[in-house]
Amino acid sequence: MNKVTAYFKDSYQELVERVTWPTSQQLQQSTVIVLVATLIITLMVTLMDFGSAQLLKLVYSLFKA
**Where along the chain do its domains lie?**
22-65
State the pTM of this model: 0.67
CB atoms within 10 A of CB 62: 7
Summarised one tens digit per residue, pLDDT across range 3-60 is 999 999 999 999 999 999 999 999 999 999 999 999 999 999 999 999 999 999 999 9
Rounded CA separation 2/7 (Å): 8
> From the CA atom positions of the chain, what is the Rg in Å?
26
Whether residue 64 is predicted with pLDDT greater than 90 in this model: the reply is: no
